[in-house]
Amino acid sequence: MTAQMLDGRALAGRIEASLRGEVDTFAGMFRRKPRLVVVLVGDVAASASYVKSKAAAAARLGMDSAVIPVAATATTADLVALVGSIARDEHGHADGILVQLPLPPHVDQVAVLDAVPPDRDVDGFHPENAGLLSQGRPRFIPCTAAGVQRMLIDAAIPTAGRHVVIVGRSDIVGKPLALLLAQRPPPGCPADGAGGCDATVTICHSRSGDLGRFTREADILVAAVGKPGLITAPMVRPGAAVIDVGINRVDGRLVGDVDAGPVAEVAGWLSPVPGGVGPMTVAMLMANTLLAAELRLGRG
Ligand code: GUN
């Protein structure tokens, strides 16, 4: 078997094309553009590159964005104060506020993320947004999780009654994706089972022991750990959909968590790295930013 590639770049392009029209409508109606403000702490090359992609996507869609660079020596109090000042619109109005992760180890990440007002939390990391998702009434869904769900829906990979195994229990990907795919069909979810919901979900993590015991049971396997080559071909059930969320730099090359060459011979579908989940994360951030602007101006 040779897996069908899940082209996240192409799908993100189609999503952007439809968002562009909505952004135009918004701008025509409110005489201003939706605006995203990103806080970038320190000089981690990968973070700088992700932030650049986010600003470039905003520009392509006709949205405003600003990146506020902060020294790596900033304290938790400095960053909480900065986020507060952005929320008070001291840096220009901000519909969406995003603090790029990771933060330096001396910073209390939870305190900084909690300072982002939940109605501008386009990352969906605030406890209020996490709570809404867990109750099946999502507002801002974490972008990578939303992107994976959208890829499954777009490729008509059924999820209802299927076994999804997620390797990785992060607040950014693993946990929200598990909630999303296990949820009851929300309004608008197609009833044919291809709607990215109604799945049976297993979350694996560093204490799960023999990972293959679980992953071989997966109809849909999601790897979201950040360990190159973690998922090998013998760990994959023939015909399964394999979604690679990992982004790792090895010898100057970007690779995922999946041993892509051999796994492509076993899987039914595979998302590549680069060009799979990464562009979808950015597209979903743009959708969340537009939603934040609409909610703010009463159109959500
Ligand atoms: N770092 C890696 N992924 C993400 C993300 O989705 N949001 C933020 N804020 N930082 C990240």
- Per residue in 3-49, pLDDT (tens digit) is 999 999 999 999 999 999 999 999 999 999 999 999 999 999 999 99
Contacts of 212 (CB under 8 A, 6+ apart): 234, 235
Closest ligand 1 atom to residue 99 Cα is 9
What does pLDDT average to over the chain?
Answer: 96
* H helix or E strand, kind and range, residue 242: strand 241-244
- The domain 141-277: what is its CATH number? 3.40.50.720
CA distance 292 to 300: 8
* H helix or E strand, kind and range, residue 7: none
Residue entry with tokens 């997966």: 218
Distance 259 CA to ligand 1 centre (A): 23
pLDDT surpasses 70 at 299: no
pLDDT attached to residue 188: 60
Residue entry with tokens 């694996």: 204
Same fold yes or no, 31-118 and 141-277 = yes
Is any ligand 1 atom within 6 A of the Cβ of residue 143? yes
Active site residues: 54, 100, 123
pLDDT attached to residue 195: 83
pTM of this prediction exceeds 0.85 = yes
Domain ranges of the chain: 31-118, 141-277
Give residue-wise pLDDT tens across range 93-143: 999 999 999 999 999 999 999 999 999 999 999 999 999 999 999 999 999
Give residue-wise pLDDT tens across range 198-214: 999 999 999 999 999 99
Distance 45 CA to ligand 1 centre (A): 14
Give residue-wise pLDDT tens across range 2-16: 999 999 999 999 999
pLDDT attached to residue 190: 56
Instruction: Quickly name the fold that domain 31-118 has.
Output: Rossmann fold (3.40.50)
CA distance 150 to 135: 20
Pocket test for ligand 1, best of 65, 101, 225 (most atoms within 8 A of CB): 101
- Give which of 193, 205, 186 is closest to 162, Cα–Cα: 193
pLDDT attached to residue 1: 73
Distance 28 CA to ligand 1 centre (A): 31
DSSP assigned state of 104: P
Q: Determine the 3-state secondary structure of 67 from DSSP.
A: strand
